[in-house]
Chain A
Amino acid sequence: MVIGGKAVCSFSSFWSELYCETTDRSVEEPATSTRMTLGGKSCEPMKPAPFSYFSPRSIGEVLELLAQYGPDARVLAGGQSLVPLINLRMARPDVLIDLSHCDDLKKIEHTGSGIRYGAMIRQYDAQLAKVTREHCPLVSMALAHAGPVAVRNRATVGGTLAHADRSAELPGVAVAMNATLVIESHSGTREVRADQFFRGDMTTCIEAHELLRSVTFPATDHSCFCHFLEVGLRQEGVAIAGIAALIRFDDGGTVKDPRFAVVGVEAAPVRLKALESELVGRALTPAIIAGARNLGGQELDPAADAHASASYRRRLTASLVEEALERALQWRRHELQ
């Protein structure tokens, strides 16, 4: 979830890596600090610190800038996570590379097996696009939770994946669906699967000189049950826990290829693999669902922070699993009618 729903506090609890998109960048920390330590971490007064600004028109230009400035630069996508951090002076790039004029990044395309979203597709546009609703409904469902409309109007598909906030929705969907992310640099292109992409809270495998170019979600058809649900402290806001679920049924009504990814509970989205194995080949009954609920809760190692305890997150996960399966059962019954 982008900054419209971001718990800055969670930065504090998980500030083992300093805030960065790559694994090797660091934020300078003077020896004697006058900054008021807020959120458990030194926090500057507001308003952005100075930076140099570039507004390239093509991916090639972006990559050249990244090659040149790499560790000192940040890529600006939707800005709904990054700009608040810049305003809080928790992020202080020397160079900001604004992607908003890169038309190359603004396409939604059918590929052989899936739908490819350019990194700069606005979340609201992705959510409402016909192709999403028809071929990747889970993306649409998840984005509906990704903050208020004003945030979704600016936040991007690529930005939320690259930012990798642990409570964000789309990373959960990407992991559940085994999405493929394309990362480019001056030296070439690489494709990374979602489960390799997310490394921890706000940590991905993108290197300093690299750009996330697109993400491809496999298409799902109407035979696949899709579901996204999250729970927070309020009816609107940051998720304490969320689940992205896909379940296919075979003709006999047993589960095949179930996928559950949970966000907000561990440092990165996590698949409930034990649960998935347990459900394969079984029909969904209340007894199975009750058992699945417990398994779903146990599989994880939930985090605790100022907003929720580990045990609450565990219980929530169990409830989210149960809810997902109950809805799947209802959906299956409805489909059969």
Chain B
Amino acid sequence: MNSNETMRIALTVNGQRVTAEVPARYLLADFVRHQLRLTGTHVGCAHGACGACTVLLDGRPVRSCTIFAVQVDGSELQTVEGLCREDGMSPLQEQFRTNHALQCGYCTPGMLISATALLSEIPDPSEEQIRRYMAGNLCRCTGYQPIVLAIRAAADMINGRSEARERSS
């Protein structure tokens, strides 16, 4: 495929079948954001260093700014828009909210995707494990602490161990 051509790709995005024509150099992050108009995934650096663009590709967290759209033909892609449940936000999203784990919200989709992957790999992570796993996602607003607390609380919620502490809303 030469540089002026486009290639047809077919994949599943958040459970929906999608087909598209993409040029070779089109980054997956740009494809998701500008062609699919799923703008929840953000680009923070375009050199794989900040994690804001993290998506789940075939169930694994990856940096969509380091992958070309042509490479995901036949894959399953999940973005932040696919995380919520039909009846509302996922436990992680809920706990991010109640723990004030976001301020400007720009890193948040990447955080949610990475945290989703973390909890499926390590369902009951210690604080150390959370910090180590998430260390590739940068945040400039929160100082990370509330994100750690939110992930820990979500783990509890998912495991049914305890109700999240009720606070006023």
Contacts and interface: CB of A to CB of B under 8 A. Distances in A.
Contacts, number: 105
Contact of B47 (A55, A88, A153, A236): A88
A148 B137 contact: yes
Given A4-B49, A46-B46, A150 B136 contact: yes
A83 B67 CA distance: 7
Given A49-B25, A150-B62, A83 B133 contact: no
A151 B136 contact: yes
A287 B133 CA distance: 38
B133 A8 contact: no
B114 A150 contact: yes
A100 B71 contact: yes
B interface SS class: mixed
A154 B63 contact: yes
A150 B68 contact: no
A47 B46 contact: yes
Interface stretch (B1-9, B90-98, B148-156, B158-166): B1-9
B126 to A, nearest CB: 16
Given A83-B68, A87-B47, 9 more contacts: A46-B46, A48-B25, A49-B25, A83-B66, A84-B66, A149-B61, A153-B60, A236-B132, A236-B136
Given A52-B1, A149-B136, A150-B62, A80 B48 contact: yes
A152 B63 CA distance: 10
Given A80-B66, A83-B48, A150 B135 contact: no
Residue from A51, A55, A84, A150 whose CB has the most chain B CB atoms within 10 Å: A150
B38 interface: no
Contacts of A3: 47-49, 66
25 contacts: A3-B47, A3-B66, A4-B49, A4-B63, A48-B25, A48-B27, A49-B25, A50-B3, A51-B24, A53-B3, A83-B27, A83-B48, A84-B66, A98-B71, A124-B60, A148-B133, A148-B136, A148-B137, A149-B136, A150-B63, A150-B117, A153-B57, A154-B62, A154-B66, A236-B135
Given A53-B1, A84-B66, A236-B135, A150 B51 contact: yes
A101 to B, nearest CB: 9
Nearest to B63: A150
Interface residues of B, number: 33
A48 B132 CA distance: 31
Interface string A35-60: 00000000000111111111100000
A149 B136 CA distance: 8
Contacts of B130: none
Contacts of A8: 47
Contacts of B121: 149
Interface in A202-236: 235-236
A215 B7 CA distance: 33
A153 B62 contact: yes
A111 B57 CA distance: 32
A201 to B, nearest CB: 18
The 10 closest A-B pairs by CB, nearest first: A148-B136, A53-B24, A50-B3, A84-B47, A236-B135, A48-B25, A83-B66, A150-B61, A52-B2, A153-B60
Nearest to B54: A150
Interface of B: 1-4, 7, 24-25, 27, 46-49, 51, 54, 57, 60-63, 65-68, 70-71, 114, 117, 121, 132-133, 135-137
A161 B70 CA distance: 25
Given A52-B1, A52-B2, A83-B67, A149 B25 contact: no
Contacts of A46: 46-47
Contacts of A147: 136
A84 B48 contact: yes
A79 interface: yes
Interface string A146-174: 01111101100000000000000000000
A53 B62 contact: no
Interface in A159-198: none
A49 B68 CA distance: 13
Interface string A132-153: 0000000000000001111101
A4 B133 CA distance: 13
B67 A154 contact: yes
B48 A53 contact: no
Contact of A54 (B1, B4, B48): B1
Nearest to A53: B24
